[in-house]
Amino acid sequence: MINKNYINSIRDEYTGLKDMPRESLASSVKILADDIYAKDSHFIFELIQNAEDNNYPDQSAARLRFEVCLIDIEGQNETALIVHNNEIGFNDKNVRAICQVGQSTKKKMDGYIGEKGIGFKSVFRITSSPYIFSNGFQFCLPEQDDETGLGYIVPCWVAHPPQQLSAQETSIILPLNKKEKEKDIDDVIKALQEISPETILFLKKLKSLEVSIQLSSSDSFKNLSINKKVLKTIGNSQLIELSCQKSDIQNDAVVDTCNYWVTEIEFEKPTHIHHEKRIGIECRSVSVAIPLNDKPRKGKLFAYLPVWEETGIPFLINADFLLVSSREGIREDEEWNYKTNTHLS
């Protein structure tokens, strides 16, 4: 009851807005949700980023699982992407942050890669109403709310959570009900299949990343059964093993393992370089991961997560780069990216 009252109190705040502030806010949030990402699939990396920034009862077992399946949500059978994360769960501050624009409970510090407080809004590229079930909170954020005249940020309490969810983890349900439904499912499945094992290589917390796609012809879609699981094992002497097990309806499980030698160099920031998003940060690190297997691996640039840039070199580089808002590239005009992150030479 306490959680429900808190959700309703946030609704009451938005209900009391006058016409001009409400219209301005509604317009801003819609632009943010629709236009900030060039790729519909990029929301997946925002969800991985959020999971990395969460707190866990046992950090050595931090895991994230993406599941595409049919689920009953508020009496409707929906084909949905469900995100399962064994974090400690939402608190009041987390709920309020996700119900605002440009707010975040995260501070920019070592180990926290989120900084914009806007990444979650990217899920509206594929759903019209995300559902969140976490630590006793159960609410959705529809893109249209008739009572307040706002969308995307006004929470609605959900009386009956789906039975198959675990109360011991956070579950986010994204019904794939926008645009052409079958195209949306195809796009999401393709994006999930393209998640590379290296995605979690430079993350400090996540040790397991899973993808499960279970759809049958009765779901008004083609029959699919796809499973992928990436495990990260940190060994001695700067060695990290990434093991990826994949199987589908036609093939037995195949395991691909790659070992990396990873080194990290810490350095002090030059005193003459400053940026408003890095206030108080005086010491940062640059990491290099060299694949030890014979199989060729593409050189990528990371800002903890892949930035999707081919570097042309046979190893992976990670640093605290300043990124463009879409997180799809580094800001090439920023001195921070070149002066503070090029000390490996």
* Residue 108 forms part of a structural domain: yes
Q: How much of the chain is in helix, strand and coil states, percent to nearest 5? A: 25, 30, 45
Q: CA 114 to CA 124: how far, in whole Å?
A: 19
Q: What is residue 317's DSSP assignment?
A: E
For 84-94, what is each residue's pLDDT tens digit? 999 999 999 99
Instruction: Spell out the alpha helix ranges (H) of 198-315.
Output: none
Helix (H, G, I), strand (E, B) or coil at 42: helix
* Residue 345 forms part of a structural domain: no
**What residues make up the domain containing 255?**
2-339
Q: CA 187 to CA 189: how far, in whole Å?
A: 6
Q: CA 237 to CA 272: how far, in whole Å?
A: 35
Instruction: Please say whether the beta carbons of 268 and 244 come within 8 A.
Output: no
For 43-100, what is each residue's pLDDT tens digit? 898 899 999 999 999 988 999 999 999 999 999 999 999 999 999 999 999 999 999 8
pLDDT category, 152, cuts 50, 70, 90? confident
For residue 220, what pLDDT is reported? 54
* Residue 213 forms part of a structural domain: yes
For 220-243, what is each residue's pLDDT tens digit? 567 889 999 999 999 887 999 999
Q: How many CB atoms lie within 10 A of CB 75?
A: 6
For residue 112, what pLDDT is reported? 47
* Residue 182 forms part of a structural domain: yes
Residue 110 has pLDDT above 50, yes or no: no
Sorted by sequence, the CB contacts under 8 Å of residue 138 that are 6+ apart come out as: 3, 131, 132, 157, 158, 159, 161
Q: What is residue 41's DSSP assignment?
A: G
Q: What sign results for the dihedral spanned by CA atoms 131, 132, 136, 139?
A: negative
* Residue 147 forms part of a structural domain: yes
For residue 345, what pLDDT is reported? 46
Q: CA 339 to CA 268: how far, in whole Å?
A: 11
- How far, CA to CA in Å, does 185 sit from each of 21, 188, 265, 316? 36, 5, 42, 31
* Residue 14 forms part of a structural domain: yes
Using alpha carbons only, give the angle 292, 298, 299 rounded to the nearest 5 degrees: 85
* Residue 344 forms part of a structural domain: no
Q: Averaged over 325-341, what is the pLDDT?
A: 71
Proportion of the chain above pLDDT 90, given as a percent: 47
Number of independent structural domains in the chain: 1
Report which of 62, 66, 42 is spatially closest to residue 52, judged by C-alpha positions. Answer: 62
Mean pLDDT of the chain: 84
For residue 29, what pLDDT is reported? 66
For 111-147, what is each residue's pLDDT tens digit? 444 544 467 888 888 899 999 999 999 999 998 888 8
Q: CA 48 to CA 65: how far, in whole Å?
A: 10
Q: CA 294 to CA 12: how far, in whole Å?
A: 60
Helix (H, G, I), strand (E, B) or coil at 31: helix
**Which has more confidence, 81 or 298?**
81
Note the pTM of the prediction, 2 decimals: 0.87
Q: Averaged over 325-330, what is the pLDDT?
A: 70
Question: For residue 27, which phi and psi values (nearest 5 degrees)?
Answer: -65, -45
Q: CA 269 to CA 282: how far, in whole Å?
A: 5
Instruction: Spell out the alpha helix ranges (H) of the chain.
Output: 2-15, 19-35, 43-53, 92-98, 181-193, 335-339
For residue 340, what pLDDT is reported? 55
Residue 40 has pLDDT above 60, yes or no: no
Q: How many CB atoms lie within 10 A of CB 12?
A: 10
For 256-295, what is each residue's pLDDT tens digit? 999 999 999 888 877 778 777 777 887 888 899 999 987 7
